[in-house]
C-alpha cells in the first residue's frame, strides 16, 4: 500500500532532519559513503535522506545514522521538531 503524501509539517521536519544529519556528518569529515558503510545503509539511502527526498525515514535508519554520528536521538528529535533554527545536538 503506497504512503500518503507528506504533509507540509512533515516535509519541514524532514528538511530539518536532512540538514542536521548532513551538517553533523560534514562536521565529522565523513563522506556519505563512509557513513553508509558504518551504518550498514546504502549510499543512496543516506544521500536521499540528506537531500530531503525522504521526509519520513524509518526509525532504525535514523538510529543507525545517529549512532555513527554519535548523536543523541532525543536531542535530534527535539532539534528536528522545534519550530526554531536547528541547534547543536548533544552527543
Give a three-class secondary structure readout of the chain. CCCCCCCHHHHHHHHHHHHHHHHHHHHCCCCHHHHHHHHCCCHHHHHHHHCCCCCCCCHHHHHHHHHHHCCCHHHHHHHHHCCCCCCCCCC
For 21-35, write each residue's pLDDT tens digit: 999 999 999 999 999
What percentage of the chain exceeds 90 in pLDDT?
60
pLDDT for the residue 11: 87
For residue 4, how many C-alpha atoms fall within 13 Å in the half-sphere facing its CB? 4
pLDDT for the residue 84: 55
Q: Who wins on pLDDT, 9 or 1? A: 9
pLDDT for the residue 78: 84
pLDDT for the residue 91: 47
Helix 59-69 to helix 32-39 angle (10° resolution) is 110
pLDDT for the residue 83: 63
Amino acid at each position: 500500500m503506497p504512503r500518503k503524501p507528506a504533509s507540509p509539517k512533515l516535509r519541514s521536519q524532514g528538511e530539518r532532519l536532512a540538514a542536521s544529519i548532513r551538517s553533523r556528518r560534514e562536521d565529522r569529515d565523513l563522506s556519505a559513503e563512509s557513513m553508509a558503510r558504518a551504518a550498514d545503509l546504502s549510499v543512496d539511502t543516506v544521500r536521499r535522506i540528506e537531500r530531503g527526498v525522504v521526509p519520513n525515514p524509518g526509525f532504525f535508519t535514523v538510529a543507525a545514522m545517529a549512532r555513527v554520528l554519535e548523536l543523541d536521538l532525543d536531542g535530534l528529535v527535539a532539534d528536528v521538531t522545534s519550530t526554531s533554527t536547528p541547534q547543536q545536538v548533544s552527543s
